[in-house]
Amino acid sequence: MVMKKERLVIILILVISAFAAYYFSYMGDNGRANIWIGDEKEFTKPIDVIWRGEIISIMAGGSCVGLTGEFDTYTQAIACLPNPDSGELWKLEGVVTVTGKWFGITCAYKNTIFGECVPDVSIENIKSESN
């Protein structure tokens, strides 16, 4: 039995329609995949900051600290050393002053002590107030 040209066209239209319906339902209203929609932001140009805050957690093997204080419109922030293997931050406690680059907002730690998306800072210098 030879398939007629009209049947082939109808089958192609049905396959393309099914794909289009799946694709556009996955994409959401604004044309971005739903898995990428969120509160995370990466700044086009990092912002120089000098922030003072209290350490509430030491994370990532001692290369990041969770801070509480006043950071722009946020009350918490994460600050990490550029070298994730350094582990130098274990010796710090209490209030610190962080000088660094604010790269954006991260939600990677939303399900930890923060409970929300927080500023993400790369540490250039960190000083303990107790020293």
Report CA-CA distances (Å) from 17 to 30, 94, 115: 20, 60, 41
DSSP 30: T
Three-class DSSP labels, 88-121: HHHHCCCEEEEEEEEEEEECCCCCCCCCCCEEEE
The single residue listed with the structure tokens 């912002």 is 47
Per-residue model confidence as pLDDT tens digits over 1-26: 455 777 777 777 777 776 666 555 54
The mean pLDDT value for 96-101 works out to 95
Query: What pLDDT does 36 receive?
Result: 41
pTM value? 0.67
Domain 41-128 has CATH 2.40.50: yes
Average pLDDT, the chain: 80
Per-residue model confidence as pLDDT tens digits over 25-81: 544 444 444 344 467 888 899 999 999 999 999 887 888 899 999 998 999 999 999
